[in-house]
């Protein structure tokens, strides 16, 4: 009996479980560009264009491989507007009675498929190193779910950078070597750009016409949209950037959006690349003497460690994870996140590049936009929606734990053992942003003082009951307590003035 095989926009892998379970000779692949997926949050136009162009090319590749594909473009007159609607329409059209699907990466869509009046066989998404059952078993009975221990298991499981049962280089983690301040000159010119072909140009025109009110520009769209091109982008990174990836992993520069980062997360998360092949390419660069251990270990840890770990947490914690708000933060997301005027140079730069590229690297996300949101007490659900909208690599299973957990501490400390907060001093050490800022990073109080300096203490004092006894934060409170009483009162008063201005919509 004919079945429909659902392939979603982030399931563009030839070895997808739903395709593996299907019968190429008789089953029908269903792919659909739909309004509902593009607008349930207002995704960045570059993200939508990337997904639609990659979907169209993947559908062609499947056809060339002998599959029968029913593909719906956004502007097709029959388009039902949602994934479920499209499945129902194609069932009626083809007489198929059953759907084969690979489990989506978001509870919203999993629940919609489960609730739909359809017979669905939902298969595990096994494009990961660890299965969800494996993660659950690892988490079972542990007091704290620390990434580092999970990561070591993934090293053992994959054999990556292993010398028998010992880690290569005699250490599991070389992170302490990966915190160099921003370099003066960057020898890498950034990710490999791809000129849009005819299919991509059609998509760009469609997205421009359909989602003009979404934050972000389509100008300069140059993402890879096929597996072959994504492989080229990976190779370019491994050859030209990986050797210095570790050293400058946490650095930020006003003039450089990418530093030595890979910019492969959209390709990996959409399924054009797989996690193991990426790590094996990096490991080969180490074995060939092309890249040092601190770079290769650091890079592999992000993929088989952090990426797998956050996915495990997202599915372990269940559908309500995105509405957690352990710190009771309620402030509305300020206009500066949408490009509204701000005098804070670091934020203005991080948001501007997000608008231009649908990309910011990890430290910009964590220590600039994320840090500010946390210090200012912004509602974590609004912060989460922002991250989900604006980045080309954002799918909820990976975005939400990074935002709600790692960045906003809204899960109460499942992912982060202490909140990732810092004053301006950290940003100044790791970047050259402060040199061009209207505020002074050296000033601790007054109108000119860097707002991160004010809000840092305001945050710690607001949440003293919760954090004062955290062993990793004791130093911060001891520093505060050593300050003169008058100074402390001025810091808190100035922070309150800053937040009032922020709430009043002033360009702070």
Distance CA 146, CA 500 (A): 37
**Number of shown-chain residues binding ligand FAD (CB under 6 A):** 28
CB of residue 429 to ligand SF4, shortest distance in Å: 10
Distance CA 46, CA 108 (A): 23
CB-CB contact of 441 with 425 (8 Å): yes
The residue within the footprint of ligand SF4, chosen from 452, 456, 459, 467 (CB under 6 A), is 452
Q: Give SS3 for 34.
A: coil
The residue within the footprint of ligand FAD, chosen from 307, 345, 349, 463 (CB under 6 A), is 307
The residue within the footprint of ligand DLZ, chosen from 32, 238, 296, 347 (CB under 6 A), is 32
434 binds, among ligand SF4, ligand FAD, ligand DLZ, none (CB under 5 to 8 A by kind): ligand SF4
**Nearer CB in complex with ligand SF4: 346/366:** 346
Residue 76 Cα to chain centre, angstroms: 31
DSSP H helices in 323-463: 345-357, 362-363, 371-376, 380-390, 396-400, 424-430, 451-462
Comparing C-alpha atoms, which of 96, 99, 125 is closest to residue 113?
Answer: 99
- Residue 226 sits at φ, ψ, to 5 deg, of -130, 165
The residue within the footprint of ligand DLZ, chosen from 395, 452, 456, 498 (CB under 6 A), is 395
The CA dihedral of 150, 154, 160, 165, to the nearest 10 degrees, is: 80
CB-CB contact of 491 with 480 (8 Å): no
Q: What are the structure tokens assigned to 382, written together? A: 């609004």
Could you say whether residue 437 binds ligand SF4 (CB under 6 A)?
yes
The residue within the footprint of ligand DLZ, chosen from 5, 12, 13, 37 (CB under 6 A), is 37
48 binds, among ligand SF4, ligand DLZ, ligand FAD, none (CB under 5 to 8 A by kind): ligand DLZ
Distance CA 48, CA 102 (A): 21
Say if strands 162-163 and 166-167 run parallel, antiparallel, or are unpaired. antiparallel
CB-based contacts of 119: which residues, under 8 Å, 6+ apart?
A: 97, 98, 99
Could you say whether residue 428 binds ligand SF4 (CB under 6 A)?
yes
Could you say whether residue 393 binds ligand FAD (CB under 6 A)?
yes
Q: Which burial class, exposed, middle or buried, applies to 336 when counting CB atoms under 10 A from its CB (0-12, 13-18, 19+)?
A: buried
- Residue 497 sits at φ, ψ, to 5 deg, of -65, -45
The residue within the footprint of ligand DLZ, chosen from 8, 374, 427, 495 (CB under 6 A), is 8
**Nearer CB in complex with ligand DLZ: 271/298:** 271
Q: What are the structure tokens assigned to 40, written together? A: 């349930």
Could you say whether residue 53 binds ligand DLZ (CB under 6 A)?
no
**Number of shown-chain residues binding ligand DLZ (CB under 6 A):** 17
9 binds, among ligand FAD, ligand SF4, ligand DLZ, none (CB under 5 to 8 A by kind): ligand DLZ
| Segment interacting with ligand FAD (CB under 6 A) among 36-44, 93-101, 106-114, 299-307 | 299-307
Q: What are the structure tokens assigned to 35, written together? A: 């309004």
CB of residue 313 to ligand SF4, shortest distance in Å: 30
Pick left, alpha or beta for residue 377 (phi over 0 → left; psi -120 to 50 → alpha; otherwise beta).
Answer: left
DSSP 355-381: HHHS---HHIIIIIIIHHHHHHTB-HH
- Residue 23 sits at φ, ψ, to 5 deg, of -105, 110
- Residue 121 sits at φ, ψ, to 5 deg, of -100, 110
104 binds, among ligand SF4, ligand FAD, ligand DLZ, none (CB under 5 to 8 A by kind): ligand DLZ
The residue within the footprint of ligand SF4, chosen from 4, 400, 424, 430 (CB under 6 A), is 424
The residue within the footprint of ligand DLZ, chosen from 19, 51, 100, 351 (CB under 6 A), is 51
Q: What are the structure tokens assigned to 466, written together? A: 């919760």
Could you say whether residue 264 binds ligand FAD (CB under 6 A)?
yes
Residue 8 has, within 13 A of its CA and on its CB side, a CA count of 24
Unique residue bearing structure tokens 């980045």: 391
CB of residue 101 to ligand SF4, shortest distance in Å: 45
Could you say whether residue 317 binds ligand DLZ (CB under 6 A)?
no
Could you say whether residue 251 binds ligand SF4 (CB under 6 A)?
no
Q: Give the x/- contact pattern for ligand DLZ in 419-448, rule: CB under 6 A.
A: ------------------------------
CB of residue 431 to ligand DLZ, shortest distance in Å: 31
Instruction: State which of positions 56-115 bind ligand DLZ (CB under 6 A).
Output: 83, 104-106, 109
Q: Give SS3 for 299.
A: helix
105 binds, among ligand DLZ, ligand SF4, ligand FAD, none (CB under 5 to 8 A by kind): ligand DLZ
Distance spanning both ends of the chain, measured CA to CA: 63
Instruction: State which of positions 395-414 bind ligand FAD (CB under 6 A).
Output: 398-399, 402-403, 406-407
User: Across-strand partners of 69?
Assistant: 29
CB of residue 329 to ligand SF4, shortest distance in Å: 20
Q: Give SS3 for 388.
A: helix
CB of residue 416 to ligand FAD, shortest distance in Å: 10
Q: Interface with ligand FAD by CB under 6 A: which residues? A: 261-265, 268-269, 299, 302-303, 306-307, 310, 361-362, 365-366, 370, 387, 391, 393-394, 398-399, 402-403, 406-407
Q: Interface with ligand DLZ by CB under 6 A: which residues? A: 8-10, 32-34, 37-38, 43, 48, 51, 83, 104-106, 109, 395
Q: Interface with ligand SF4 by CB under 6 A: which residues? A: 344-346, 424, 427-428, 433-434, 437, 439, 441, 450-452
């Amino acid at each position: 009996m004919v079945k429909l095989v659902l392939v979603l926009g982030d399931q563009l892998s030839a070895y997808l479980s739903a395709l593996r379970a299907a019968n190429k000779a008789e089953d029908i692949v269903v792919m659909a560009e739909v309004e509902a997926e593009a607008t349930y949050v207002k995704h960045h136009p570059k993200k939508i264009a990337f997904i639609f162009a990659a979907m169209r090319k993947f559908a062609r590749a499947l056809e060339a491989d002998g599959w029968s594909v029913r593909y719906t473009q956004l502007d097709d007159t029959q388009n039902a507007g949602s994934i479920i609607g499209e499945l129902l329409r194609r069932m009626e059209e083809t007489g198929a009675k059953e759907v084969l699907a690979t489990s989506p990466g978001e509870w919203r869509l999993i629940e919609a498929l489960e609730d739909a009046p359809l017979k669905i066989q939902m298969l595990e998404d096994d494009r990961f190193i660890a299965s969800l059952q494996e993660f659950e078993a690892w988490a079972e009975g542990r007091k704290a779910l620390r990434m580092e221990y999970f990561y070591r298991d993934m090293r053992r499981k994959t054999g990556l950078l292993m010398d028998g049962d010992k880690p290569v280089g005699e250490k599991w983690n070389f992170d302490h070597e990966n915190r160099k301040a921003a370099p003066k000159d960057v020898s890498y010119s950034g990710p490999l750009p791809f000129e849009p072909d005819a299919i991509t140009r059609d998509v760009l025109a469609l997205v421009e016409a359909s989602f003009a009110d979404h934050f972000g520009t389509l100008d300069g769209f140059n993402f890879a949209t096929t597996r072959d091109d994504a492989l080229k982008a990976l190779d370019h990174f491994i050859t030209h950037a990986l050797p210095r990836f570790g050293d400058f992993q946490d650095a930020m520069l006003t003039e450089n959006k990418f530093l030595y980062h890979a910019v492969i997360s959209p390709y990996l998360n959409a399924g054009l690349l797989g996690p193991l092949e990426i790590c094996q390419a990096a490991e080969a660069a180490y074995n060939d003497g092309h890249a040092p251990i601190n770079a290769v270990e650091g890079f592999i840890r992000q993929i088989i460690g952090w990426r797998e770990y956050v996915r495990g947490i997202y599915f372990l914690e269940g559908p309500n994870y995105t509405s957690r708000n352990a710190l009771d933060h309620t402030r509305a997301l300020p206009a500066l996140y949408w490009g509204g005027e701000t005098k804070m140079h670091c934020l203005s730069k991080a948001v501007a590049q997000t608008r231009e590229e649908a990309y910011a690297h990890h430290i910009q996300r964590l220590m600039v936009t994320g840090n500010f949101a946390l210090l200012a007490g912004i509602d974590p659900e609004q912060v989460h929606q922002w991250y989900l909208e604006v980045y080309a690599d954002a799918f909820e299973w990976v975005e939400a734990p990074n935002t709600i957990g790692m960045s906003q501490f809204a899960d109460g400390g499942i992912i982060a053992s202490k909140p990732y907060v810092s004053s301006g001093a950290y940003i100044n050490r790791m970047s050259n942003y402060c040199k061009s800022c209207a505020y002074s990073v050296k000033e601790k109080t007054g109108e000119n003082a860097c707002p991160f300096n004010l809000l840092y203490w305001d945050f710690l004092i607001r949440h003293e009951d919760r954090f004062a006894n955290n062993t990793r934060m004791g130093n911060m409170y001891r520093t505060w307590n050593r300050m003169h009483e008058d100074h402390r009162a001025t810091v808190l008063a100035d922070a309150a003035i800053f937040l009032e201005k922020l709430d009043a919509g002033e360009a702070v």
